[in-house]
A and B are shown apart, each in its own frame.
Chain A
Amino acid sequence: MTLNGWLQILVFCGILIALVKPLGGYMTRVFSGERTFLSPVLVPIERGLYALAGTNEREEQHWTAYAFALLMFNLLGVFVLYALMRLQAGLPYNPAGMAAVPPELSFNTAVSFVTNTNWQNYGGESTMSYLTQMAGLSVQNFVSAATGIAIAVAFIRAFSRASGKAIGNFWVDMTRATLYLLLPLCIVLTLVYVWLGVPQTLGPYVEATTLEGAKQTIALGPVASQLAIKMLGTNGGGFFNANSAHPFENPDAISNLIQMVSIFSIGAALTNVFGRMVGNQRQGWAILATMGVLFIAGVIVTYWAETAGNPLMHAFGLEGGNMEGKEVRFGITLSSLFAVITTAASCGAVNAMHGSFTALGGLIPLINMQLGEVIVGGVGAGFYGILLFIIVAVFVAGLMVGRTPEYLGKKIEAKEMKMAVLAILCLPLAMLVFVAIASVLSSAVASVGTAGPHGFSEILYAYTSAAANNGSAFGGLTGNTPWYNVTLGIGMLIGRFLVIVPALAIAGSLAAKKTVPASAGTFPTDGPLFVGLLAGTILIVGGLTFMPALALGPVVEHLVMIAGQTF
């Protein structure tokens, strides 16, 4: 660990924190339907879209209607995406002449992009046509992100209104998230990436002759535009197979920094939107602080573990940290930081191979995902995820101060608890049960690339990443088999929609409640005590479940490595 390394981490945090307030303010205005500086241009477009779709902008929906609209929209997304992949051979914008994608892989990929997971059991440059990338994957990158934001905003509304029947209009929230937030930011970011050297072309792949005279095909494509939304929408699906480790997808330190900041920006700003909408920005800061504490702890462990490297290598006189699987352009610091960010935020883009991290360095990305992607988390998803933990934390703590638990004046009762528990239960269900089956199923075990506990980690990581809707891969595991394509797809669906529906149910129930004014008997939820309480709850309730699995994976791998055995 070097001073320079810490400074880079500090610069990242500084930029992010500086962004929270302005972006949060802008988003608050957008989702409250107030005027913004983009309104003159965008309002006519927005109106036109509503007119076209027959949506009444002012008509709000009950949570069931909201959830129904959302589910139907996403289901349609899966079908369209599946069809595009199956039919891409006969569709335009296919200069490389890609064949139809096989059924299981198409299912897996369609689900993966609709659920904002972007788990990729394929290499983009060798599987997908430009049309599939742009009209299918990129579109889902936008709308899956917008879906997450819409739910978060609906949830926030539930806290900010009293005795309301509705939680907003899904179509309006979706449209605004895309039109006012994602699109403008992506246009700017795309231009910046192009300026930094990221390709943006519809032309065919380039043939080059190398120095030794060999022919090399250099894959190109509309990379910059997809890169922008891949980061901003915490999608993570790379244009290229190597994702953000590829020089065309992440040319230098500046592009790396912009990518890291864009992963966290909307998720972090949502805490501020929350604070503003409930009328006390400190409430938002407290949530962000909790995320920050857990994030920094993760960065410290991974950065330390990667810098410490492998003692067995040191014994051979190979001093220094663990550079296996890392881009020299980014080094240990930026690879570690990127890995923690991308797994904390449900992004899944990578600039280094997580499977090559040391056991403890790779443990943190796993834990980040197993906690439910609540450390900033996926756009929107992280925020409603942490609200579920807040409900549990506040419930237990609320009892301890001798009152019916309440958060921001909303009483937390049996119905909220039922839904929160249901949502929290989904993750271990989708993660552990599939791992348990896969680790004794010979056809599934055959996909594992490494022996010993590291191989177990590969399976664990895959299902964890899928259910958490992260999408990053550990490497080593051959995921493109019917078993993994189907089960990972199911894991992604459980991790996404079995959380969304209870979350919306809670939002509906909270919106209908009266707001109890705070008194000396209500414990403050905007101070360090709350931050500690929430962090503790996330670690204990979210983490304890995975102790046995982690012990048999990275923990034992580390201990075995110290004892001199590697895999």
Chain B
Amino acid sequence: MSQSKSASIMDSRILVPAVGAAFTKLNPRTLARNPVMFVVATVSVLTTILFVRDLVTGGDDLAFSFQINLWLWFTVLFANFAEAVAEGRGKAQADSLRKTRTEAQAKLLTGNDRTVYKMVPGTSLKVNDIVIVEAGDIIPSDGEVIEGVASVNEAAITGESAPVIRESGGDRSAVTGGTQVLSDWIRVRITAAAGSTFLDRMISLVEGAERQKTPNEIALNILLAGMTLIFVLATATIPSFAAYAGGSIPIIVLVALFVTLIPTTIGALLSAIGIAGMDRLVRFNVLAMSGRAVEAAGDVDTLLLDKTGTITLGNRQATEFRPVRGVTAEQLADAAQLASLADETPEGRSIVVLAKEKYAIRARDMQSLQASFIPFTAQTRMSGVDFDGSQIRKGAVDAVLSYVGSGALPVAGTTAAVSFNQSEAVRELQAITEEIAKAGGTPLAVARDGRLLGVIQLKDIVKGGIRERFAELRRMGIRTVMITGDNPMTAAAIAAEAGVDDFLAQATPENKLSLIREEQAKGKLVAMCGDGTNDAPALAQADVGVAMNTGTVAAREAGNMVDLDSDPTKLIEIVEIGKQLLMTRGALTTFSIANDIAKYFAIIPAMFLAFYPQLGVLNVMGLATPQSAILSAIIFNALIIIALIPLSLKGVKYRAIGAGALLSRNLLIYGLGGIIVPFIGIKAIDMAITAIGLA
């Protein structure tokens, strides 16, 4: 299900079944979902009955009314076809998903021992059942790892073949039914009953089976239904106007005028546009739990982005050793490297790398040094190493200072001079610290045996090109807010470097939530992404909450979208897709309504020509005969649906050029174009059908 696998519009595997589906969708109950096309189908039935009656009783112009009837039905079928094509693309994806959903057997644990289980079918599992999944097993349903760690192949869901680690506790505890454990074992608490798993939901989403009309779509449908009613009045009153003038209008002509005037183009393509919008998200490996969320994405005013991983490269890197006076950089690097040898965090590793690059300090074997590693804890906020009776500590500056100040290890022979030097060193260290923080770095203080050595400067590396993306977002009218646990000074520096509009420093789940509420109170729509359980309240509060697929079950439940690639920068694409969806609807509505002008010019002179030949002046297109004029208009009206299917599936491209410029551009293309194109199209069709003698 990677992006490249998306089906092309011209794929015959989609087009052929869509032709069949166009006919099965003639079912009145299916048609009733779409008011405009339902009306077209209804009048088509009526005119067909009239045609059959005329056929039996022998009416005039049978060939003409047969052709009009034919094109009326084509109009309905083309609309059904458009919807079927859009659905077909989703169906192809759903089928490939279904193949991966094999009937898994589950090892339901019956006792505490993980070897005591009974085999049950995966579909019989209930929420809160505990199962054991071992290497080679398919995870039977969605769940949360409560014990163990395993590598899991999630290619079925994400299309990504590299295995991922799933483990109990922390933010990587969610497992998805249908994925396969490759190594080790995990004990899983089931969180979804059969039929409502992530995979099930995904299948029904891409198939469009669960598609509900979105708020804007409902409003648009009301407008279209209203326009249809207005044109009912406009055409139904014509016969008596004509009667006053002493003429009469055949019903088939009135129906032709009516169907060409009502917004059939947008009416026919509306659901295809909606389905295609969801589909586009799916191809970006994002699952929207509702169409409402996709629409809301287009409206987002404020984007909350986590600093780490989104704005900056995942991890901070050591960039410099800054010793205090009396200590050489090599000494500091040496101590820092020793303290970091056993530190498996990316920061720790980057210290080792920097020491090697700058001062050629090689890695040493911890065991031969008989060193014991002191791991980082949230209480001490330091890590370090004890060896040879000597203690090295590195950590948050205030933590190290209090460690030094408390005299954790009174060193023999400490003199007053030394402690004087020490307080001198503290001042110097604080100066360096402040300097680093102002530049957006993170300082790590290093002390050896109670003596301050200096500071390691860690820096966030802002992702390349991110600044431009924020500038683009600003042009789209979206404010970006960086969320970080850093102190305000560091946060401000990174915010400035990355070009975000605002930042929230020292973020906690609570102040994240209150930031969202604050923005919403100002009437803004907020989008954010998150993965941890503590993000869940904020994800639920945000208007668009994108949960990372790697995240916890709680996060995935709280968000209204799931990003299968767990790439937080994707929020930007999600916003664009939401905008595209709305724009396509607006553009085609404008086009559809603007078309009416040309259709009036085609049909009105033709319709009244018999009793007011002077109205022939209005035949500005110079259409051959009244019949060819009416026929051309209805053919154009039907064919334009087919012609616009690709656009409705692909969507109108969003450009971040400011709303005013975007509007004038689209008004020019779809408004003015919508006025001009049918004049040309109807004329061309008229010439063609006259040439082949259809009218």
A residues neighboring B (CB under 8 Å): 162, 392, 395-405, 409, 412-414, 416-418, 421-422, 424-425, 428-429, 432-433, 435-437, 439-440, 445, 453, 455-456, 459, 514-517, 519-524, 527, 529, 532-533, 536, 540-541, 544-549, 551-552, 555-556, 559-560, 562-563
**Chain B residues within an 8 Å CB radius of A402:** 298, 578-580, 582-583, 654, 662
From B475, which residue of chain A is reached at the shortest CB distance?
A520
Is B108 close to A, CB under 8 A? Answer: no
Say whether B240 contacts A417, CB under 8 Å: no
From A404, which residue of chain B is reached at the shortest CB distance?
B299
**Chain A residues within an 8 Å CB radius of B431:** none
Complex A-B: 18 CB contacts under 8 Å:
A396-B586, A399-B587, A400-B667, A402-B580, A402-B583, A414-B218, A428-B230, A428-B233, A435-B237, A436-B240, A440-B244, A520-B658, A520-B659, A527-B660, A541-B227, A552-B244, A560-B612, A563-B614
Say whether B617 contacts A559, CB under 8 Å: yes
**Chain A residues within an 8 Å CB radius of B298:** 402-404
Contacts known (A404-B215, A428-B230, A521-B476); A436 close to B659, Cβ less than 8 A: no
Is B594 close to A, CB under 8 A? Answer: yes
Is B114 close to A, CB under 8 A? Answer: no
CB distance from B229 to the nearest CB of A (A): 6
Complex CA gap A559/B619 in Å reads 13
Complex CA gap A514/B479 in Å reads 19
From A563, which residue of chain B is reached at the shortest CB distance?
B614
A421, A455, A532: residue with the most chain B Cβ atoms closer than 10 Å: A421
Complex CA gap A103/B585 in Å reads 52
Say whether A519 contacts B477, CB under 8 Å: yes
Complex CA gap A549/B671 in Å reads 25
Complex CA gap A440/B238 in Å reads 11
**Chain A residues within an 8 Å CB radius of B496:** none
CB distance from A168 to the nearest CB of B (A): 22
Picked from A400, A433, A515, A532, the residue with its CB within 8 Å of the CB of B670 is A400
Is B618 close to A, CB under 8 A? Answer: yes
Say whether A545 contacts B477, CB under 8 Å: no
Say whether B523 contacts A560, CB under 8 Å: no
Contacts known (A397-B663, A516-B523, A545-B231); A540 close to B582, Cβ less than 8 A: no
From A440, which residue of chain B is reached at the shortest CB distance?
B240
Say whether B523 contacts A399, CB under 8 Å: no
B residues 457-501 near A (Cβ < 8 Å) are 474-479
Binds A, one of B90-98, B128-136, B351-359, B596-604: B596-604
Is B101 close to A, CB under 8 A? Answer: no
Ranked 8 nearest A-B pairs via Cβ: A521-B477, A399-B586, A402-B579, A421-B226, A519-B477, A400-B586, A520-B477, A523-B659
CB distance from A560 to the nearest CB of B (A): 5
**Chain B residues within an 8 Å CB radius of A549:** 237, 241
**Chain A residues within an 8 Å CB radius of B670:** 400
From A421, which residue of chain B is reached at the shortest CB distance?
B226
Contacts known (A403-B582, A520-B474, A536-B671); A544 close to B596, Cβ less than 8 A: yes
B244, B662, B666: residue with the most chain A Cβ atoms closer than 10 Å: B244
CB distance from A370 to the nearest CB of B (A): 11
From B223, which residue of chain A is reached at the shortest CB distance?
A417
**Chain A residues within an 8 Å CB radius of B689:** none
Complex CA gap A292/B600 in Å reads 27
From A459, which residue of chain B is reached at the shortest CB distance?
B244
Provide the B559-602 mask, 1 if CB < 8 A to any CB of A, else 0.
00000000000000000001110110111011001101100100
Say whether B660 contacts A396, CB under 8 Å: no
From A536, which residue of chain B is reached at the shortest CB distance?
B671
Say whether B523 contacts A400, CB under 8 Å: no
Is B234 close to A, CB under 8 A? Answer: yes
**Chain B residues within an 8 Å CB radius of A439:** 240-241, 243-244
Secondary structure class of chain A's binding surface, majority of residues: helix
**Chain B residues within an 8 Å CB radius of A517:** 301, 522-524
From A401, which residue of chain B is reached at the shortest CB distance?
B659
Contacts known (A414-B222, A456-B245, A529-B660); A400 close to B234, Cβ less than 8 A: no
B residues 195-241 near A (Cβ < 8 Å) are 215-216, 218-220, 222-223, 225-227, 229-231, 233-241
CB distance from B567 to the nearest CB of A (A): 22
From B522, which residue of chain A is reached at the shortest CB distance?
A517
Complex CA gap A459/B261 in Å reads 25
Complex CA gap A422/B222 in Å reads 10
**Chain A residues within an 8 Å CB radius of B244:** 439-440, 445, 455-456, 459, 552
**Chain A residues within an 8 Å CB radius of B535:** none
Say whether A556 contacts B662, CB under 8 Å: no
Is B295 close to A, CB under 8 A? Answer: yes
**Chain A residues within an 8 Å CB radius of B235:** 548
Say whether A425 contacts B477, CB under 8 Å: no
Say whether A540 contacts B597, CB under 8 Å: yes
Complex CA gap A435/B243 in Å reads 12
Complex CA gap A417/B666 in Å reads 22
From A532, which residue of chain B is reached at the shortest CB distance?
B667
**Chain B residues within an 8 Å CB radius of A428:** 230, 233-234
**Chain A residues within an 8 Å CB radius of B390:** none
Complex CA gap A417/B301 in Å reads 23
Complex CA gap A401/B666 in Å reads 8
**Chain A residues within an 8 Å CB radius of B301:** 516-517, 519, 521
**Chain A residues within an 8 Å CB radius of B523:** 162, 409, 514-517
Is B64 close to A, CB under 8 A? Answer: no
From A553, which residue of chain B is reached at the shortest CB distance?
B241
Picked from A392, A397, A399, A544, the residue with its CB within 8 Å of the CB of B597 is A544
Say whether B615 contacts A555, CB under 8 Å: yes
**Chain A residues within an 8 Å CB radius of B229:** 425
Complex CA gap A485/B485 in Å reads 77
Picked from A401, A417, A425, A519, the residue with its CB within 8 Å of the CB of B219 is A417
Complex CA gap A409/B240 in Å reads 45
Complex CA gap A547/B614 in Å reads 16
Say whether B215 contacts A529, CB under 8 Å: no
**Chain B residues within an 8 Å CB radius of A421:** 222-223, 225-227
Say whether A548 contacts B596, CB under 8 Å: no
Is B664 close to A, CB under 8 A? Answer: yes
Say whether B583 contacts A396, CB under 8 Å: no
CB distance from B652 to the nearest CB of A (A): 8
Say whether A529 contacts B579, CB under 8 Å: no
Is B242 close to A, CB under 8 A? Answer: yes
CB distance from B383 to the nearest CB of A (A): 45
**Chain B residues within an 8 Å CB radius of A429:** 233
Say whether A546 contacts B237, CB under 8 Å: no
From A539, which residue of chain B is reached at the shortest CB distance?
B597
Complex CA gap A475/B625 in Å reads 38
Contacts known (A425-B226, A514-B523); A433 close to B582, Cβ less than 8 A: no
Complex CA gap A397/B583 in Å reads 9
CB distance from B302 to the nearest CB of A (A): 9
Complex CA gap A436/B578 in Å reads 45
Picked from B227, B583, B614, the residue with its CB within 8 Å of the CB of A400 is B583
Further contacts, 11 of them, CB under 8 A, given A424-B230, A517-B522, A556-B614? A400-B663, A403-B298, A414-B222, A425-B233, A436-B240, A519-B479, A520-B477, A527-B660, A529-B664, A536-B671, A544-B596
Say whether B660 contacts A432, CB under 8 Å: no
**Chain A residues within an 8 Å CB radius of B66:** none
Say whether A540 contacts B614, CB under 8 Å: no
**Chain B residues within an 8 Å CB radius of A409:** 523
Provide the B300-316 mask, 1 if CB < 8 A to any CB of A, else 0.
01000000000000000
Complex CA gap A396/B266 in Å reads 12
Picked from B241, B476, B524, the residue with its CB within 8 Å of the CB of A548 is B241
Say whether B222 contacts A533, CB under 8 Å: no
Contacts known (A403-B579, A544-B597); A523 close to B662, Cβ less than 8 A: yes
From B257, which residue of chain A is reached at the shortest CB distance?
A548
Is B403 close to A, CB under 8 A? Answer: no
Contacts known (A397-B663, A414-B222, A524-B660); A552 close to B241, Cβ less than 8 A: yes
Say whether B594 contacts A540, CB under 8 Å: yes
Say whether A556 contacts B612, CB under 8 Å: yes
Say whether B582 contacts A551, CB under 8 Å: no
**Chain A residues within an 8 Å CB radius of B612:** 453, 552, 556, 559-560
